[in-house]
Amino acid sequence: DGCIKAVGPADVIRNQFSGATFERIIDCSGKCVLPGLVDAHTHPVWAGDRVHEFAMKLAGASYMEIHQAGGGIHFTVEHTRKATEEELFNTLKHRLERMCRAGSTLVECKSGYGLNLETELKMLRVIERAKQSMDIGISSTYCGAHAVPKGKTATEATDDIINNHLPKLKELKLSGEIHVNNIDVFCEKGVFDLESTRRILQAGKDIGLQINFHGDELHPMKSAELGAELGARAISHLEEVSDEGIRAMARAKCAAVLLPTTAYMLRLKQPQARKMLEEGVIVALGSDFNPNAYCFSMPMVMHLACVNMKMSMNEALAAATINAAYALGKSDTHGSIETGKQGDLLIINSSRWEHLIYQFGGHEALINYVIVKGKVIYHNERCGTM
């Protein structure tokens, strides 16, 4: 059934399964077995990359300056609206395969580059198709409130989402066509304010979606306090979170999904991982893969978390496995090697697991096997020769 049957010392396992026959035995001598990595925040469905904006960013243009010059999210929205479902599916499949080769076995995937009902549904159908046809685990997120569409005010966009988008999602869920897990809003100055965010998140919660949203990234918005109050499962970014927000999240057991790639690429101040950990917040990690932060690799995210956010390697591993699974509401089945949990594993070509973090960008010759539900979905032949 794809679940772990036993965990323990080799001789105990050998005795327990002395009469069993196996389809395949993998020799892990001198290697490490780890839980599959969980990427708790990605935007993997879109057309129109923003490689041309990277130079503007390097020259000092801010996220909001690029946004106001007609670039940023609106550039990608325009291209995503024009792309066919087939084109979007093929690029999503390619990106998920790259994430898988970097050790991710469960990935959160957002919509959010449509900003109109038709394109948002197109993106969600593409994610649903990947869920059904690929081995990698997917938690899907409706993120129609990723930006305010051109020609609308934030209030008009909020009303459209509550009156049109969410009822349609509920209908598609009931008919079994699309199963969305989470609802997301970009709560930010000049995007969706606190009140609009509250209305959308509450409406999503009312149709059975977990609250998992972008907050306190560029400006302090009191998003963390709002999330704690609404019973959010997780809040992402939090570069500008208040001390009270951190305490509220700890009390509410609301996970903080920290994204060291974003702070690194946008040259923002780093999220306060140490303070959150000391206050008892459940800290998770995500790659934030999107046209603005083009990173597929959770091992690189863990490395950045250790170096730039001062997390220990143990904390980073927990944040990229069990805590990231918690942020997606899946920590009872994913994120650790325990009897009864889903058999999602990595085998790395090293006798010390820390190499996964220590080698910055070295996962291509380090990750030997990626296993999902007890099935080898990636075998890296090159590891044998290293």
> Each residue's pLDDT tens digit in the chain (386 positions)?
999 999 999 999 999 999 999 999 999 999 999 999 999 999 999 999 999 888 888 898 887 888 878 788 889 999 999 999 999 999 999 999 999 999 999 999 999 999 999 999 999 999 999 999 999 999 999 999 999 999 999 999 999 999 999 999 999 999 999 999 999 999 999 999 999 999 999 999 999 999 999 999 999 999 999 999 999 999 999 999 999 999 999 999 999 999 999 999 988 899 999 999 999 999 999 999 999 999 999 999 999 999 999 999 999 999 999 999 999 999 999 999 999 999 999 999 999 999 999 999 988 899 999 999 999 999 998 886 55
53 in any annotated domain? no
Candidates 208, 194, 123, 112; CA nearest to 161 is 112
338 in any annotated domain? no
User: 121 and 9, same structural domain?
Assistant: no
For the chain, the residue count is 386
Q: Which CA distances in Å does 203 have to 154, 158, 160, 197, 199?
A: 16, 10, 12, 10, 6
Q: For residues 120-142, b (16+ Cβ closer than 10 Å) or e, as one string? A: bbbbbbbbbbbbeebbbbbbbbb
* pLDDT confidence of residue 190: 92
CATH code assigned at 202? 3.20.20.140
User: 249 and 209, same structural domain?
Assistant: yes
User: 89 and 228, same structural domain?
Assistant: yes
Name the 3-class secondary structure at 29: coil
User: 248 and 367, same structural domain?
Assistant: no
372 touches 3 (CB < 8 A): no
335 in any annotated domain? no
User: 16 and 156, same structural domain?
Assistant: no
Q: For residues 149-174, b (16+ Cβ closer than 10 Å) or e, as one string? A: beeeebeebbebbbeebbeebbebee
* pLDDT confidence of residue 386: 52
65 in any annotated domain? no
* pLDDT confidence of residue 385: 57
Q: Kindly write down the DSSP assignment for every residue of 262-320, as one continuous string.
A: HHHHHTPPPP-HHHHHHHT--EEE---BBTTB----HHHHHHHHHHHS---HHHHHHHT
354 in any annotated domain? yes
Q: Kindly write down the DSSP assignment for every residue of 358-382, as one continuous string.
A: HSTT-GGGTEEEEEETTEEEEE-GG
- Per-residue pLDDT of 338-350, as tens digits, reads 999 999 999 999 9
- What the block records as the tokens of 57 is 């960013």
User: 104 and 27, same structural domain?
Assistant: no
User: 263 and 135, same structural domain?
Assistant: yes
User: 134 and 16, same structural domain?
Assistant: no
198 in any annotated domain? yes
Distance CA 382, CA 367 (A): 10
pTM for the structure as a whole: 0.97
- What the block records as the tokens of 20 is 């069993």
Candidates 326, 193, 186, 303; CA nearest to 256 is 326
User: 27 and 38, same structural domain?
Assistant: no
Name the 3-class secondary structure at 192: strand
User: 125 and 168, same structural domain?
Assistant: yes
User: 209 and 183, same structural domain?
Assistant: yes
Distance CA 10, CA 121 (A): 49
201 touches 183 (CB < 8 A): yes
What is the C-alpha radius of gyration for the chain, rounded to an integer number of angstroms? Answer: 21
Query: Domain of 154?
Result: 34-47+83-328
Distance CA 363, CA 101 (A): 8
Domain count, the chain: 2
User: 351 and 247, same structural domain?
Assistant: no
66 in any annotated domain? no
* pLDDT confidence of residue 64: 81
- What the block records as the tokens of 349 is 């070509």
73 in any annotated domain? no
